[in-house]
């Protein structure tokens, strides 16, 4: 299915300052632990509070403790060191599971990403169901990933959907106003026809991330989606990136993601 990016009015973004260039060898203790790939900064706070972190042989209980270059940091007795984060954009194909590992042995998005040095700690930010295609962001930066998924940041996601039956204008209005699902009310931020006089091709923007939300909302109106593609996530698109292929983000794209979450 050939789909094109439709234009939508941008949503308001949290105001933030440009993140400073931080040396990997120094900085706050919780961020140092996160950069080492141990866990997110939030979980690092718990490790520190529980006395599981030592700096130069001394237990540290303050997450804001400043680590200097040359300090020895241990978590549960194991020496850790920071590393560069990975930021990956994948054009997800159909019949692929959005998880790092599948217990049933099915093909996952991590099976598609092959790089020198491996992909340890890489995880998908948010989920696309098995047969939804398009933009998927993966990273080893746990703090960034979890913030992007948090509803308070209202990260915009855009999709194009093709339905089996034509969708009437009054049904678009109903989906825009909101409908009741089994897990509560749900609404799209914006929904339009992507092409004039084509009621089968629908453009959608939302910031929520409930499981199979788009398909369930259409199903509530007795509509079946036969093809669904995410064409934008947090401003990232798959332009010039073929289905099933991936690339690392450039510095400009990474800075933009940092600004979206207000990272200092």
**Per-residue pLDDT tens digits for 161-177:** 999 999 999 999 999 99
Tell me whether residue 244 is in a domain. yes
Q: Which structural domain, as residue segments, surrounds residue 193?
A: 156-233
Question: Does position 256 have pLDDT exceeding 80, yes or no?
Answer: yes
Last residue of a domain, one of 35, 51, 80: 80
Residues contacting 101, CB < 8 A, separation 6+: 108, 110
Model confidence pLDDT, tens digit, residues 27-59: 889 988 887 878 878 889 999 999 999 999 999
Q: How far lies 193's CA from each of 134, 167, 174, 204, 233, in Å?
A: 19, 9, 14, 9, 20
In a domain, 107, yes or no: yes
Q: Which residues pair with 181 in a beta bridge?
A: 184
Residues 197 and 246 in one domain: no
143 and 101 housed in the same domain: yes
Mean pLDDT score, 117-124 = 84
- CATH code for position 169: 3.30.2350.10
110 and 67 within one domain = no
Residue whose C-alpha is closest to residue 225's, from 6, 1, 8: 1
Let me know if residue 13 belongs to a domain. Answer: no
- Are residues 133 and 95 located together in one domain of the fold? yes
176 in the same domain as 53? no
Same domain, 143 and 246: yes
Residues 133 and 254 in one domain: yes
Is residue 62 scored above 70 in pLDDT?
yes
**Count of domains forming the chain:** 3
What is the rounded CA–CA span in Å between residue 236 and residue 263?
18
Q: Which CATH number belongs to the domain containing residue 243 in this structure?
A: 3.30.70.580
Q: Which of 39, 62, 80 is the last residue of a domain?
A: 80
Tell me, yes or no, whether 1 lies in a domain: no
Instruction: Classify residue 9: in a domain, yes or no.
Output: no
The CA distance from 96 to 136, in Å, is: 12
Q: Are residues 171 and 228 in the same domain?
A: yes
Q: What is the pLDDT of residues 193-244, one digit of tens each?
A: 999 889 999 999 999 878 899 999 999 999 999 999 999 999 999 999 999 9
Tell me whether residue 8 is in a domain: no
The per-residue DSSP string of the chain comes to: ----PPP-PPPP----PPPP---TTSEEHHHHHHHTTSS-HHHHHHHHHTT-EEETTEE---TTPEEPTT--EEETTEEE---PPPEEEEEEPSS-BSSS--TT---BGGGG---TT--TT-EESS---TT-EEEEEEES-HHHHHHHHSGGG---EEEEEEESSPPPHHHHHHHHH-EEETTEEE--SEEEESSTT-TTEEEEEE----TTHHHHHHHTTT--EEEEEEEEETTB--TT--TT-EEEPPHHHHHHHHHHTT--
CATH number of residue 38's parent domain = 3.10.290.10
Q: What percent of the chain has pLDDT over 70?
A: 89
Do residues 178 and 128 share a domain? Answer: no
pLDDT at position 4 over 70: no
Q: Are residues 138 and 242 in the same domain?
A: yes
Indicate if 216 and 148 belong to the same structural domain: no
Please, is 227 exposed, middle or buried when counting C-beta atoms within 10 Å of its C-beta (0-12, 13-18, 19+)?
A: middle
Distance CA 203, CA 128 (A): 17
Q: Choose the catalytic residue: 102, 129, 141, 173.
A: 129
Instruction: Give the C-alpha separation, 200 to 216, whole Å.
Output: 17
Residue 13 has pLDDT above 60, yes or no: no
Active site residue 141: no
162 shares a domain with 145? no
In a domain, 141, yes or no: yes
């Amino acid at each position: 299915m050939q789909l094109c990016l439709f234009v939508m009015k941008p949503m308001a973004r949290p105001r933030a300052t440009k993140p400073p260039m931080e040396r990997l060898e120094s900085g706050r203790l919780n961020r140092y632990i996160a950069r080492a790939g141990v866990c997110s900064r939030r979980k690092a706070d718990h490790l520190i509070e529980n006395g599981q972190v030592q700096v130069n042989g001394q237990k540290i209980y303050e997450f804001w403790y400043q680590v200097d270059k040359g300090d020895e940091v241990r978590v549960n007795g194991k020496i850790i060191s920071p590393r560069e984060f990975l930021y990956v954009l994948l054009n997800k194909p159909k019949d692929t599971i959005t998880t790092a590992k599948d217990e049933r042995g099915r093909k996952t998005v991590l099976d598609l990403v092959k790089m020198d040095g491996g992909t340890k700690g890489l995880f998908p930010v948010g989920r696309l169901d098995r047969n939804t295609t398009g933009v998927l962001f993966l990273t080893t930066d746990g703090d960034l990933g979890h913030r992007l998924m948090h509803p308070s940041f209202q990260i915009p996601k855009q999709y194009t959907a093709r339905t089996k039956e034509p969708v009437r204008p009054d049904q678009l209005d109903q989906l825009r106003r909101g409908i009741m699902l089994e897990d509560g009310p749900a609404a799209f931020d914006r929904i339009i026809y992507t092409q004039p006089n084509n009621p089968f091709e629908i453009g959608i923007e939302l910031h929520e991330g409930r499981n199979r939300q788009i398909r369930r909302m259409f199903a509530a109106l007795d509509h079946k989606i036969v093809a669904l593609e995410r064409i934008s996530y947090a401003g990232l698109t798959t332009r010039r990136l073929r289905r099933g292929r991936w690339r690392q983000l450039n510095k400009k794209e990474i800075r933009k993601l940092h600004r979206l979450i207000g990272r200092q």
